[in-house]
Structure 1
Amino acid sequence: MRVTVAVPSANDALITVDVHEECALGDLRAAVLCEIGDAAMVERLATRGRFVREGRVIEGGLDRTLESAGIGENDVLVLESDAGGGGSGSGVGVSVEGQMAELRGNAGMMERIRAMHPGLAAAVDRNDATEFQRMMREVTSATEARKRAYEEYAALASADPFDVEAQRKIEEAIRRENVQHNMERAIEETPEAFGQVFMLYVDVEVNGVALKAFVDSGAQMSIMSVTCARRCGLERLIDNNFAGEARGVGVQKIIGRVHQAPLKVAEQFVPIAITVLEKENDIDFIFGLDMLRRHACSIDLKRNVLVIGSTGTELPFLSEAEVGKQMGVFSNGGDAGDTVAKSPAPANDSGEQAPSSATTSRPDEEKISRLMALGFGRQEVINALESTGGNEEFAGALLFG
């Protein structure tokens, strides 16, 4: 439902918030404070603010829900400062520590704050009152700056409606506002989209060596790092005639190809061809689309299994605990999970796509620049990289999706 909150002490601001009827008063207050541009006022209302309706203070404390307080659709409340220091009568004045505790107890609100203001969420998680207050001031200052910039652009346009530069700035401000509203709506309706998705791994054996294979239908070839190839005793079988470069958003050297190696899935053995890359990755072995097609595999997410059609066997996908969080979400730079898009050709004449090399001293900035070159804004790119644990390929897919 929609509730409007008037804040007389903040230039009579009127703030409309979409909330659930089970939302607590404390959560409503936190949402309102994020929209106020006066940092000092935010701090005062955060510790001594109380809600008033029809001239009467709403009793019962911050844990009371809107429904239990009799607040309904399109109701108007007033958020005012308790000048008396938050006496026991109001029941809503709490310390900064108390406010952080309330936020920690509300998973939905924390999910929203974590997506929009990660620094503020980190301060709440650490129970750092000083950092929390500093971040609140930053958030409110940023809100104030956006409003001030929009007012300046509007004033320019009003003075000269035909000023192309002013119109361009207003258009950009409106675009950013629409993006912000779109993100807020997504956080409310599909918060799971802002979490990290654990990737698909299965237990296999290559030439008798147990491996955790990353199942990637977006990788055109099944690939392995040269270190893993040595460990599996396959180095002597690498055909260097298939050496070349794998090109995509980055460049990586292909040192050759193992034309056939024994792959054990469940209790069955199947032949597999492997392209060997020079660069060391977090992932040793990627089970790509070439072998998925060759063995008529199906990724069954409902049952959480990989079905090997050629053998009639099934492999359960591994849990995060079985694989390890860092490996599963590519938190160590993300290059390991990038995919190869074209098969290699002999004698250095390949047109493949592969993981970015990320070998310079500033790999993160390089990833940002490459994705921005595709037509996306810097902040969009940064948000996409953060959402995918730094994985450039998945960030690109997220942006295009």
Structure 2
Amino acid sequence: MKLTVLTADERIVSLDVEPDELVENLKAILEVETQVPLVQQQLLFNGKEVQNTMRLNAAGVGEDDLLMLVSAPTPSSAGGPAPSDLAFNPDGSAVNPIALQRHLRGDPNVMSQLQQNNPELAQAILSDDTEVLQMLLRRQHQHRVELQRRQQQELDLMNADPFDVDAQRKIEEAIRQKNVDENWEAAIEYNPEAFARVIMLYVDMEVNGVPLKAFVDSGAQSTIISKTCAERCGLLRLMDRRYVGIAKGVGQSEIVGRIHVAPLKIGTNFYPCSFTVLDQPDLEFIFGLDMLRKHQCSIDMKDNVLRVGGGEIAVPFLQERDLPIHLHDDKRLEEFPPATELSQTEAKVQRLVELGFDRKTVIQALTLFNGNEEQAASYLFGGF
């Protein structure tokens, strides 16, 4: 596993050792790298000295962890920071964050490596807000602890009895979840548009001289108008009540009649249109497949317009800001479950980003807590 050791003279030593390596052997390697005699070395991890007879994994040291190498206190070292000032608390925060900041800022090489490998930590060290530094140190420590926990769980599963059905089921689920997580991370990186909210297609139209926001839906077999909307447009007097029935789709609604023809204005042109009238107050007007075909319409996503009459008229699709609140997708989707868990995750990401955290950190926090938004928020605010 890879370790980083920060020395008292502000050097960074990168090492690759076995997880069960003796601390004494690690110090022997450091003696060669730093010229500090083994007997004068104090190796600190999370604010505590690790003893020579301990093994690294038994001391809690894991992949990519940071250790502090300091010399035993001597009278000549009184001019520099005490080893305890550069130590860490059990929660990962610095015992003396101001001393740690000064110590790290004093070495351009250290700061250069941090800016390359851990830019968020480097920025916190350069800032004057020690609370931000402490929160980040705790957060990264918690992430390391959780990573070690997961690695230990995976190790336990791999060492389990191969004939234990429950153990094999857990291994299968762990592999499946890992594949899902990798697929999700790849989608976040390479196809972020898949997580964006899709605004439905609306255009401005006029029915019998009354302006409406028409929902263009090629999946609707008929053009539909609600009874209340038809009344507002002055068309109820033309409704043929012989055409009653039930409209079935995602749900079902009562058909109360049909309006055989009425003027529909799209852009600057007028077109004859027929409507199925539904007794559904939350629906206003759907421009369906029957009229899309009749008037030779095409949905042009490249130019974001609805073309009518073979292209003689082109009207733009409306932006979300142009729609009344009751037509926003958030309100429409309240009636139906989300299509995938990914849409739920993206909603959580957006809510946490709005609290002031960067997107990458939010995704890491949600991944760390298996999508639990409250725990991720507490973690981001330094509550752990």
1:291 matched residue in structure 2 = 291
2:177 matched residue in structure 1 = 176
1:331 matched residue in structure 2 = 330
SS of corresponding position for 1:179: helix
Higher-Rg structure is 2
Query: What is the one-letter code of the residue matched to 2:111?
Result: I
Residue deviations 1:206-237, cap 9 Å, x none? 01111111222232322222221111112233
Residue deviations 1:43-91, cap 9 Å, x none? 9999968989x9951259x8x5x3xxxxxxxxxx589x99xxx9xxx63
Tell me, yes or no, if the aligned pair for 1:268 and 1:311 is still in contact at 8 Å: no
Per-residue deviation, 1:268: 1.6
Find the partner of 1:91 among 126, 137, 146: 126
Distance in 2 of aligned mates of 1:189 and 1:166: 34
| 1:50-199 equivalent positions in 2, closer than 5 A | 56-59=109-112, 66=116, 91=126, 94-96=129-131, 148=149, 151-152=152-153, 154-156=155-157, 158-199=159-200
User: CA separation of 1:317/1:248 partners in 2, compared to 1, >3 Å: closer, same or farther?
Assistant: closer
1:275 matched residue in structure 2 = 276
2:322 matched residue in structure 1 = 322
Superposition TM-score, scaled by structure 1 size: 0.53
Distance in 1 of aligned mates of 2:104 and 2:239: 72
Distance in 2 of aligned mates of 1:46 and 1:260: 77
Per-residue deviation, 1:204: 0.8
User: CA separation of 1:198/1:388 partners in 2, compared to 1, >3 Å: closer, same or farther?
Assistant: farther
User: CA separation of 1:78/1:387 partners in 2, compared to 1, >3 Å: closer, same or farther?
Assistant: closer
Per-residue deviation, 1:189: 2.1
Q: Identity across aligned pairs (percent)?
A: 40
SS of corresponding position for 2:229: helix
Per-residue deviation, 1:304: 2.4
Distance in 2 of aligned mates of 1:45 and 1:280: 64
Distance in 1 of aligned mates of 2:248 and 2:94: 52
| 1:387-398 equivalent positions in 2, closer than 5 A | none
1:397 matched residue in structure 2 = none
Distance in 1 of aligned mates of 2:288 and 2:271: 15
1:69 matched residue in structure 2 = none
SS of corresponding position for 2:254: strand
Tell me, yes or no, if the aligned pair for 1:262 and 1:270 is still in contact at 8 Å: yes
User: CA separation of 1:189/1:156 partners in 2, compared to 1, >3 Å: closer, same or farther?
Assistant: closer
Tell me, yes or no, if the aligned pair for 2:92 and 2:141 is still in contact at 8 Å: no
1:262 matched residue in structure 2 = 263
User: CA separation of 1:311/1:181 partners in 2, compared to 1, >3 Å: closer, same or farther?
Assistant: closer
Distance in 1 of aligned mates of 2:330 and 2:307: 28
1:303 matched residue in structure 2 = 303
Per-residue deviation, 1:386: 7.6
2:252 matched residue in structure 1 = 251
Residue deviations 1:133-173, cap 9 Å, x none? 69x86x98799668646744652553310222222222222
Query: What is the one-letter code of the residue matched to 1:308?
Result: V
Q: CA RMSD in A?
A: 4.7
SS of corresponding position for 1:270: strand
Superposition TM-score, scaled by structure 2 size: 0.55
Distance in 1 of aligned mates of 2:318 and 2:192: 24
What stretches of structure 1 of length at least 5 have no aligned partner? 16-37, 67-76, 100-132, 336-357, 359-363, 390-401
Query: What is the one-letter code of the residue matched to 2:292?
Result: L
Tell me, yes or no, if the aligned pair for 2:195 and 2:342 is still in contact at 8 Å: no
Find the partner of 2:91 among 33, 40, 43: 40
Q: Does 1:209 align with 2:260?
A: no
Distance in 1 of aligned mates of 2:259 and 2:160: 70
Bigger mean CA deviation after superposition, 43-52 or 230-239: 43-52
Query: What is the one-letter code of the residue matched to 2:287?
Result: F
User: CA separation of 1:200/1:148 partners in 2, compared to 1, >3 Å: closer, same or farther?
Assistant: same
Per-residue deviation, 1:273: 2.1
User: CA separation of 1:41/1:181 partners in 2, compared to 1, >3 Å: closer, same or farther?
Assistant: farther
Distance in 2 of aligned mates of 1:165 and 1:296: 60
Distance in 1 of aligned mates of 2:245 and 2:264: 25
Distance in 1 of aligned mates of 2:189 and 2:64: 21
Distance in 2 of aligned mates of 1:171 and 1:197: 34
